[in-house]
Structure 1
Amino acid sequence: MKIFATILVYIFFFSYQVSYAQINLRKLLKGDTTSTKTSSSTKTPSNSSLSVNNSEISSGLKQALEKSLQSSIKSLSQKDGFLGNQAIKVLLPPQAQKAEKALKAIGLGSLTDQLITSLNRAAESAVSEAGPVFVSALKQLTIADASKILLGGEKDAATTYFKGHTSQELSNKFKPIVSENLQKFDVSKHWNAVATSYNQIPLVREKMEADLNTYVTQKAIDGLFYQIAQEELKIRDNLGGSRTTPLLQKVFGYADKEEKN
């Protein structure tokens, strides 16, 4: 009898242990133990869109800059890239604009039109060679630079960075190309035609003179930076879905969040 009672106690204890273990197992599978609830209620969710590391900021910004550059160079180096864009179209130098007005008044406006077209063609050709200069500037970009550009609050911060790091090199790179293209597009011939016609107008006292190479070079650089700034703004404001990669979406989404805080 004593042995039988012992066996019953053992069976009852074993059954209780099995039942308890099964209950705990079900709780674990459902993720609703007391400790799990406590942990989940205090742990900050790891959402990759809420934060980015320095490496991602640097890589994302470089990707944005490369995208802006490629788009700018492609659009400006094609035919009418400058001539067809009123914001950056290369006009006659200031000292020649009086001549333009005077020649148009006497029916010789076609001379100045040809000259303006040739100036813009020279600028369009020069811009196509800008890529390597910017690649060099991108390699110099530090993590500190990237963070400042991304989170500094200026919509054209990347463009400003490029201006500071590439303007002189771009000028050195563009000048011989502009000079070559001024010859290619007969700028001297068109310029001389305008100057000769203008200088023959009675009572003209100021002779037309200008360093066209320096003038067109600077206009090409100004136009390029203008276009880069437009492309940068598109990415920052996500205009037309310009954040075309997951990295751009993540990094600039983070910048949006920081700007609102």
Structure 2
Amino acid sequence: MRKLTLILLPFLFFGCTAQQVNDTLNTVLGGTSGLSSDQIGNGLKEALRIGAEAGANELSAPGGYFNDVAYRILLPEEVRTVTDRLQGIPGFSNLEEIILKKINQGAEDAASKAAPIFVAAIKQMTIQDALGILKGDRNAATSYLQSSTSQSLYNEFNPVIANSLDKFEAQKIWQDAANAYNNFPLTRQPVNTNLADYVTEKALEGLFTKVALKEEDIRDNISARTSELLRKVFALQDGDK
């Protein structure tokens, strides 16, 4: 009965004021768990903050992307076509290795900008958001962050990555290589000399994958619930498994 009530709650909220929603949640959840809706919301926000900050910090560390094959950003197909063709030309023999290392350094540099954006989005969570996350899919918190931060993260990451690529000279290396490739007499389709968009998309993809793993850890492992509030809030989830 309790699980059915939790499923139906979001539909009962339509047309309700914020206070009415709060009172309903306090009655349904607080009465059975000893937690108020505010405590549940705060617990979810704490879990989100921990997971998001940990994910961003790990990827922004030196080698955060490059040293982990699960997150390493690989070169797009057209780039590998260019590097393969230029391999025998003096000065371009290890081009792919150089660019690969530098674009990952750029992504690591940009990832340090993610945590404040995540925290700002988490602060905007409503009670309905918190309940949906607690009783949602295993990656419900990450999905919430993805839907509410993707554009802001892209807007923040893209110029940072472009600057980072310039700082590590990846853009220049790639532009030189792409221009050399485009000037080949038999080149049919010129390649784009801008890597920033591609690296931005891949950097964000890796970031959300990392945050999702942190979320799963908190959901599955009591030892990952590092505060009493987290343990109490996620005990509600555990009780319905």
Q: TM-score, normalised by structure 2?
A: 0.78
Partner of 2:198: 215
Partner of 1:186: 169
The one of 110, 113, 117 aligned to 1:126: 110
2:188 aligned counterpart, secondary structure: coil
Question: CA separation of 1:190/1:49 partners in 2, compared to 1, >3 Å: closer, same or farther?
Answer: farther
User: What do you get for the CA RMSD once the two structures are aligned?
Assistant: 2.4
Partner of 1:139: 123
Which residues in structure 2 correspond to 1:141-156 (within 5 Å)?
A: 141-152=125-136, 154-156=137-139
| Bigger mean CA offset, 208-217 vs 130-139 | 208-217
- Residue 246 in 1 paired to residue 228 in 2? yes
Is the CA contact 1:49–1:250 (under 8 Å) kept in the aligned structure 2?
no
1:92 aligned counterpart, secondary structure: coil
Is the CA contact 1:80–1:121 (under 8 Å) kept in the aligned structure 2?
yes
Partner of 1:90: 73
The one of 160, 163, 168 aligned to 1:177: 160
Shift of 1:203: 4.6
Cα-to-partner distance string for 1:124-179 (whole Å, 9 max, x where unaligned)? 11110112211211111001100000012x01000100111111111111122112
Which sections of structure 2, spanning at least 5 residues, go unmatched?
Answer: 1-30
Distance in 1 (CA, whole Å) between partners of 2:167 and 2:189 is 28
Question: CA separation of 1:144/1:198 partners in 2, compared to 1, >3 Å: closer, same or farther?
Answer: same
Distance in 1 (CA, whole Å) between partners of 2:146 and 2:226 is 25
Shift of 1:53: 2.7
Partner of 1:256: 238
Is the CA contact 2:178–2:193 (under 8 Å) kept in the aligned structure 1?
no
Is the CA contact 1:82–1:120 (under 8 Å) kept in the aligned structure 2?
yes
Distance in 2 (CA, whole Å) between partners of 1:166 and 1:126 is 15
Question: CA separation of 1:114/1:63 partners in 2, compared to 1, >3 Å: closer, same or farther?
Answer: same
Question: CA separation of 1:50/1:82 partners in 2, compared to 1, >3 Å: closer, same or farther?
Answer: same
Partner of 2:97: 113
Larger Rg: 1
Q: Percent identity?
A: 39
Is the CA contact 1:69–1:228 (under 8 Å) kept in the aligned structure 2?
yes
Q: Which runs of 4+ in 1 moved over 6 A?
A: none
Is the CA contact 1:49–1:253 (under 8 Å) kept in the aligned structure 2?
no
Distance in 1 (CA, whole Å) between partners of 2:167 and 2:154 is 19
Q: TM-score, normalised by structure 1?
A: 0.73
Is the CA contact 1:112–1:194 (under 8 Å) kept in the aligned structure 2?
no
2:45 aligned counterpart, secondary structure: helix
Cα-to-partner distance string for 1:203-234 (whole Å, 9 max, x where unaligned)? 54333324312222222211111111111111
Shift of 1:82: 0.8
